[in-house]
């Protein structure tokens, strides 16, 4: 393995991602900024081989050209770093509390194993060997993305539509060559600069993702519970497997989750730059898997409801929504009209995949039933998601009882994450109706990954776990909750850990005043 090449790529991911994030002028903590920079840098650099390919006459895909391409790309994206921006506040680094260590150590051991498997094994999934991995391998061997792969028997079924010869995706044995250039680009870079099987970029996504998730969890819930939730998330069998089995779904999940997370931020602070950033992240998710565009349709009602509640003028919300959705659309166009047109010498007939009988909407209901019976509560689901979804259902059920019995309201963020879970669930059912070729065992099963981090963050905001968190925080010796989000949380006595945990800047706030009760 070429460690210098890996180090070079890590730096390139970090600086290109950091510079790109700077463009959005987000208020991020240093740790969040670091992890997001790496994650964003991965998707940004995946464009480098494609750009080289577009100028192939002068730039064959070789290690030296890719290295120069990455350097130029990183330099361009790092430009915003030279402009002054408010310096982030670095807090003193604290070691985790003793009770976090068991969770963190087990998680770290699993992460190490995941990295090892990324390194050791060649790509295995059939979808990769007959598509992106094959294309990347021969792009490296032939020094062009229009490689000799297109001269072999790809099992394509050619049809004529409107006098133009196209490939019927529904009838072909293999439609994997028509997928996004995301994995192809990354595999080319990692094969040339790091090791023959590439793949280590998955760990470059996985580790910062888990660090970021943990950081975000401890901001919401007691560290003991944050560790527990992270642990349960990591040991979800299929989620863990796809951290080292190369496919599009894990990356898609990461960008979809962060897109939704920053959309929630926008709904809370109404800052347009957060909406732009969220739209960009959803755009990345769409670039990785084009079907994400269908899921985004279900996000629109949430935004409309928000604008309605805020009495936002029509012109403002119309412009914001157009900008938000057009970002994803642009990335979709990049995949279909740039990548497929320039790098695949066949025209795909996407129409052949679509449902011909759209009048029969019962298919949506049937697909929802299938998801429930086989994936969510079935044996297949148990093998794939463990008991993660069961835990979620139990927490929702308890929350419902507390909500109805004690009139304790669920906090806003929990509701928004719950809506996100609904977006994925109904979106995938709808997708199964639009594209019947999306099988339950593959596309839908892995598509449900997108709901997993949303479920995790719902649980971290749930009434029951917030109550337990508050209970744990009352102890003087344990780490307190940083930001209690339960509305009806009893106010801790002055001097206790829970009050000490509040940020210093907020401490001189006025004492809470109750609104005058009507009729008195």
> What is the distance between the alpha carbons of residues 205 and 243, in angstroms, rounded to a whole number?
9
Give CA separation, 342 vs 127, 157, 165, 252, in Å.
21, 20, 17, 23
Cα distance between the two ends of the chain:
76
Give the count of residues interacting with other proteins (CB under 8 A): 51
From residue 229 to residue 268, the character string flagging contacts with other proteins as x (rule: CB under 8 A) and all else as - is --xx--x-x--xx---------------------------
Instruction: Name the segment binding other proteins (CB under 8 A); options: 32-40, 123-131, 455-463, 486-494.
Output: 123-131
337 contacts 418 by C-beta, under 8 angstroms: no
* 417-446 positions binding other proteins, by CB under 8 A: none
Between strands 348-349 and 158-161, the pairing is unpaired
From residue 338 to residue 357, the character string flagging contacts with other proteins as x (rule: CB under 8 A) and all else as - is --------------------
E strands, 218-329, in order: none
User: Which token pair is 329?
Assistant: 């659309």
Contacts of 103 (CB under 8 A, 6+ apart): 227, 228, 230, 231
In the complex with other proteins, which residue's Cβ is closer, 30 or 102? 102
**Binding other proteins by CB under 8 A: which of 5, 49, 69, 227?**
227
> What is the distance between the alpha carbons of residues 444 and 439, in angstroms, rounded to a whole number?
6
Q: Is 8 in the site for other proteins (CB under 8 A)?
A: no
Q: Is 224 in the site for other proteins (CB under 8 A)?
A: yes
Q: CB of residue 470 vs other proteins: minimum separation in angstroms?
A: 11
Q: Is 173 in the site for other proteins (CB under 8 A)?
A: yes
Q: What is the DSSP letter of 335?
A: I
Q: Is 127 in the site for other proteins (CB under 8 A)?
A: no
188 contacts 61 by C-beta, under 8 angstroms: yes
**Binding other proteins by CB under 8 A: which of 86, 153, 164, 503?**
153
From residue 55 to residue 94, the character string flagging contacts with other proteins as x (rule: CB under 8 A) and all else as - is ----------------------------------------
Which one, of 332, 277, 295, 274, lies nearest residue 426 by Cα? 295
In the complex with other proteins, which residue's Cβ is closer, 120 or 305? 120
**Binding other proteins by CB under 8 A: which of 122, 313, 345, 490?**
122
Q: Is 121 in the site for other proteins (CB under 8 A)?
A: yes
Which one, of 242, 299, 210, lies nearest residue 31 by Cα? 210
**Binding other proteins by CB under 8 A: which of 51, 397, 475, 500?**
475
**Binding other proteins by CB under 8 A: which of 372, 474, 485, 499?**
474
User: Which token pair is 1?
Assistant: 């393995």
Q: CB of residue 131 vs other proteins: minimum separation in angstroms?
A: 8
Q: Is 126 in the site for other proteins (CB under 8 A)?
A: yes
Phi, psi (rounded to 5 degrees) for 349: -95, 95
Q: Is 124 in the site for other proteins (CB under 8 A)?
A: yes
In the complex with other proteins, which residue's Cβ is closer, 144 or 273? 144
- CA torsion through residues 431, 434, 438, 439, sign: positive
Q: CB of residue 119 vs other proteins: minimum separation in angstroms?
A: 9
> What is the distance between the alpha carbons of residues 432 and 423, in angstroms, rounded to a whole number?
14
Contacts of 337 (CB under 8 A, 6+ apart): none
Kindly list the residues in this chain that would bind other proteins in the complex (CB under 8 A). 97-103, 106, 110, 113, 116, 120-122, 124, 126, 129-131, 133-134, 137, 149, 151-155, 173-174, 196-197, 224, 227-228, 231-232, 235, 237, 240-241, 382-383, 386-387, 471-472, 474-475, 477-478
């Amino acid at each position: 393995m070429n460690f210098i090449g890996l180090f070079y790529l890590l730096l390139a991911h970090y600086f290109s991602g950091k510079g790109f994030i700077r463009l959005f002028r987000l208020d991020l903590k240093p740790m969040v900024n670091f992890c997001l920079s790496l994650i964003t840098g991965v998707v940004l650099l995946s464009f480098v081989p494609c750009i080289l390919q577009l100028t192939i006459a002068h730039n064959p895909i070789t290690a030296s050209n890719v290295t120069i391409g990455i350097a130029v790309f990183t330099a361009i994206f790092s430009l915003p770093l030279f402009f002054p921006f408010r310096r982030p506040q670095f807090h003193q680094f604290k070691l985790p509390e003793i009770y976090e260590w068991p969770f963190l150590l087990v998680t770290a051991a699993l992460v190490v194993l995941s990295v090892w498997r990324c390194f050791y094994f060649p790509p295995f999934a059939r979808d990769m060997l007959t598509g992106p991995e094959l294309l990347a391998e021969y792009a490296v061997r032939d020094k062009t993305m229009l490689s000799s792969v297109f001269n072999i028997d790809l099992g394509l079924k050619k049809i004529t539509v409107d006098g133009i010869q196209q490939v019927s995706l529904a009838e072909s044995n293999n439609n994997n060559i028509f997928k996004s250039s995301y994995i192809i680009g990354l595999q080319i870079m990692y094969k040339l600069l790091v090791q023959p099987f590439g793949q280590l970029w998955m760990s470059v996504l996985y580790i910062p993702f888990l660090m970021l998730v943990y950081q975000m969890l401890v901001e919401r819930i007691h560290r003991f519970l944050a560790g527990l939730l992270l642990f349960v998330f990591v040991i979800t069998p299929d989620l863990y497997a796809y951290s080292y089995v190369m496919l599009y779904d894990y990356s898609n999940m990461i960008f979809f989750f962060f897109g939704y997370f920053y959309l929630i931020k926008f709904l809370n602070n109404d800052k347009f730059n957060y909406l732009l950033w969220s739209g960009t992240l959803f755009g990345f998710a769409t670039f990785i898997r084009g079907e994400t565009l269908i899921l985004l349709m279900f996000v629109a009602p949430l935004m409309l409801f928000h604008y309605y509640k805020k009495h936002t003028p029509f012109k403002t919300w119309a412009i914001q929504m157009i900008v938000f959705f057009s970002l994803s659309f642009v990335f979709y166009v990049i995949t279909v009209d740039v990548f497929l047109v320039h790098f695949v010498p066949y025209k795909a007939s996407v129409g052949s995949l679509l449902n011909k009988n759209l009048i029969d909407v019962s298919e949506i209901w049937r697909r929802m039933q299938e998801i429930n019976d086989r994936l969510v509560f079935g044996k297949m689901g148990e093998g794939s998601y463990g008991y993660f979804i069961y835990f979620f259902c139990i927490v929702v059920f308890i929350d419902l009882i507390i909500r109805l019995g004690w009139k304790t309201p669920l906090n806003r963020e929990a509701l928004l994450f719950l809506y996100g879970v609904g977006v994925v669930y109904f979106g995938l059912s709808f997708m199964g109706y639009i594209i019947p070729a999306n099988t339950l065992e593959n596309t839908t099963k892995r598509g449900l990954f997108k709901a997993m981090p949303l479920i995790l963050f719902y649980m971290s905001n749930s009434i029951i776990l917030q109550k337990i968190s508050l209970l744990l925080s009352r102890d003087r010796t344990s780490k307190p909750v940083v930001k209690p989000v339960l509305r009806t949380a009893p106010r801790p006595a002055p001097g206790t850990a829970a009050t000490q945990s509040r940020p210093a800047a907020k401490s001189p706030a006025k004492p809470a005043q109750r609104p005058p009760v009507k009729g008195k």
